[in-house]
């Protein structure tokens, strides 16, 4: 007998069983990461987030799960549906709350339908999808959204779920021995620009260091958070992650990694990364100084350095940013699925998504046509840059 339950806190689900269902070591869906978000005050109804995590049980054993939230707005999701919300509300409907199957504040592809990796996985993933849909219908909600799905999970969603795709920029490790080996694969113009940016930082007199989060003192974590918060405030955005969350990251072993710039003893700039499953994820940047090239040095080049040194497969620096293309990050597709309960509303949005998909396809093709990598005959055959260093 299988039973479905919804939980108002990740702590109500067994940590070991949850993590065993992830399928890989993606850190953003780990029980510890999600629990840290909740217990440090980042997940709050007045900020539009209320946990409603889904578990499927065989007797009392958790056999499938999904990170799930009631959303009172569309902030912190990175798959934008503000236009849908306006249209539905103008038609007299209530778009919020809705259900979101995803990870708060994290535009990172990873497992969303946690169902292990055996012969029952596909059936359990479909059961999770049906449970989310059923919950929305039973509660009279407008919609359910599953964001940044792994490609293998998309088959669990039937034709009633609308398909969306977008573009991010990722760096892939092709077995580079060091940063100069990577640099040698780029065309001359891009190599020259990167070297110039790194030279500007070297000439600034700032000391750059790479630190594991578990090595930072509480005072250092507070300074890192202050830089993050100031940067968000300067752009008129809401800094949703609390100082407590930042310091708790230091308790998660080497999950958090940081590139820091110091002027004397004072941390004047930082880039925060999360790592796991052979991947480095760039998350946040903050600075109290304006130094040419410093953002690129901390957020991109130091991350590439670290990924090469650690033998990581990939470096995902975050959402958006065509400027990443010139620095060796290539476009990849992200995937989401959306169920709108009202059939007429669903049909209208489906028509609009046809044009959106055409535009995204064209954008991705244009980006690939401007690859920063130097082309060789071998590259034309394989589609991959090759190590051109001596």
Q: What is the pLDDT of residues 173-213, one digit of tens each?
A: 999 999 999 999 999 999 999 999 999 999 999 999 999 99
* Rounded CA separation 5/390 (Å): 58
**C-alpha atoms less than 13 angstroms from C-alpha of 335 in its C-beta half-sphere:** 14
With a CB cutoff of 8 Å and minimum separation 6, the contacts of 162 are 337, 338, 339, 340, 346, 349, 350, 353
Closest CA to 338 of 127, 84, 123: 84
Two tokens, residue 361? 């396809």
Residues 90-111 pLDDT 10s = 999 999 999 999 999 999 999 9
Per-residue model confidence (pLDDT) at position 235 = 78
With a CB cutoff of 8 Å and minimum separation 6, the contacts of 282 are 271, 272, 273, 299, 300, 303, 315, 316, 317, 318
Q: Count of CB atoms within 10 A of residue 271's CB?
A: 28
Per-residue model confidence (pLDDT) at position 377 = 34
Top pLDDT among 309 and 376 is at 309
Residues 351-367 pLDDT 10s = 999 999 999 999 999 99
151 has pLDDT over 80: yes
* Rounded CA separation 81/142 (Å): 12
Closest CA to 96 of 134, 147, 141: 141
* Rounded CA separation 239/234 (Å): 10
Per-residue model confidence (pLDDT) at position 376 = 58
Closest CA to 372 of 135, 174, 189: 189
**CA 155, chain centre distance (Å):** 21
379 has pLDDT over 60: no
């Amino acid at each position: 007998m299988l039973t479905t339950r919804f939980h108002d806190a990740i702590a109500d689900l067994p940590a070991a069983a949850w993590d065993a269902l992830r399928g890989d070591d993606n850190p953003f869906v780990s029980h510890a990461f999600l629990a840290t978000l909740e217990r440090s005050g980042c997940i709050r109804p007045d900020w539009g987030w209320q946990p409603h995590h889904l578990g499927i049980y065989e007797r009392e054993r958790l056999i499938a799960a999904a990170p799930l939230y009631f959303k009172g707005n569309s902030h912190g999701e990175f798959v934008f549906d503000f236009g849908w919300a306006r249209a539905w509300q103008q038609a007299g409907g209530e778009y919020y709350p809705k259900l979101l199957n995803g990870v708060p504040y994290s535009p990172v592809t990873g497992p969303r339908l946690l169902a292990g990796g055996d012969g029952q996985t596909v059936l359990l993933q479909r059961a999770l999808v049906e449970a989310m849909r059923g919950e929305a219908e039973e509660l009279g909600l407008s919609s359910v959204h599953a964001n940044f799905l792994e490609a293998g999970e998309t088959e669990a969603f039937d034709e009633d779920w609308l398909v969306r795709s977008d573009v991010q920029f990722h760096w892939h490790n092709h077995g580079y021995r060091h940063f100069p080996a990577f640099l040698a694969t780029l065309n001359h113009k891009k190599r020259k620009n990167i070297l110039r940016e790194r030279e500007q930082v070297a000439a600034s007199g700032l000391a750059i260091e790479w630190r594991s989060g578990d090595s930072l003192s509480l005072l250092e974590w507070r300074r890192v958070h202050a830089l993050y918060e100031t940067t968000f405030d300067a752009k008129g955005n809401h800094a949703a992650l609390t100082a407590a969350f930042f310091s708790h990251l230091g308790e998660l072993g080497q999950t958090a990694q940081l590139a820091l710039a110091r002027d004397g003893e004072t941390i004047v700039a930082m880039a925060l990364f999360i790592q796991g499953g052979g991947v480095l994820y760039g998350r946040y940047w903050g600075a109290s100084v304006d130094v040419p090239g410093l953002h690129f040095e901390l957020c991109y080049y130091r991350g590439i350095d670290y990924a090469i040194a650690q033998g990581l497969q990939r470096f995902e620096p975050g959402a958006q940013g065509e400027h990443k293309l010139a620095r060796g990050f290539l476009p990849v597709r992200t995937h989401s699925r959306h169920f709108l309960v009202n059939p007429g509303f669903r049909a209208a949005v489906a028509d609009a998504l046809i044009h959106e998909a055409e535009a995204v396809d064209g954008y991705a093709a244009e980006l690939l046509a401007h690859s920063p990598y130097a082309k060789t005959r071998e590259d034309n055959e394989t589609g991959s840059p090759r190590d051109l260093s001596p």
